[in-house]
Amino acid sequence: MDYRYECLPELERKPARKRIVVLTGAGVSAESGLPTYRSDDFALYVDNDCINLATPQGFRKNPAAVLDFYNKRRLQLAQAQPNHAHMLLAELEKWHDVTIITQNVDDLHERAGSTDIIHVHGELTKVTSSVSRRDPACVKEFPLDVPMKLGDMAADGSQVRPYVVWFGEKVHYYEKSVRIVREADIFVVIGTSLRVTPAANLIKCPLPSAMKFIIDPCDPFDPCDDNYPEGYEHIRKNATVGMEILIDRLMEME
């Protein structure tokens, strides 16, 4: 089916409103030209040591290098655009109550029009204190096309840093995310390897009564794992095609 965003509201019969919770990962934004950490064409952690670029100790050791690394990522994000999958997720809000829990640090869900988004790994569009990362008074929007520099200060007088979760740091809003997933009528996982915890543990949180889908060309679940989650319908497609199939499935359920 060829989905045109402006045509979606023209359905003759609107589906019964459901509580949909969506967990998204890098595979959603990859189709907007933002390569994943593990992709062959973007060897972030092959050419660059993650200990030096994505940890608090790396920042303390060489803050200029870390700021430069993230300035490049921020500029790349400024040039990216939401793709078909982002748009369809936003359109779902016309039919259902949708919450997106994203592991992505980009703002493409927001730009596509989604309104209820939880960023568990932070946001590249913001900076914060290098001393009190989670202090709300220190978190502020920072234009993507403006580079962070040594000497840029947070509200507490410390050097600013990207408002992203580095290795060894606690993720944002995890307990809230668990609660929201448990309230879902439908839970959807899109474009994530499910290798990064604790966000990956959210797949175990939906109630047995919830319908569960995973959209990914590969199977991120290990069938030999004792905790292999059951009850998921696997749509073995990329995010954009998979979202079209998902919408068809939701319409069939009505």
* Catalytic residue positions, numbered: 121
Radius of gyration of the chain, Cα coordinates, nearest whole angstrom: 19
In whole angstroms, what is the distance from residue 69 CA to residue 132 CA? 21
Structure tokens at 194: 């499910």
Neighbouring C-beta atoms of residue 3, cutoff 10 Å: 15
Cβ 112 vs Cβ 27: under 8 Å: no
Peptide bond into 198 cis (omega under 30): yes
Q: Which 3 state secondary structure label does DSSP give 187?
A: strand
In whole angstroms, what is the distance from residue 174 CA to residue 57 CA? 24
CA 12-112-244 angle, to 5 degrees, is 50
Across the chain, the runs of DSSP E, i.e. the strands, are 19-24, 97-102, 117-119, 122-129, 140-141, 160-164, 186-190, 211-215, 232-235
Neighbouring C-beta atoms of residue 53, cutoff 10 Å: 19
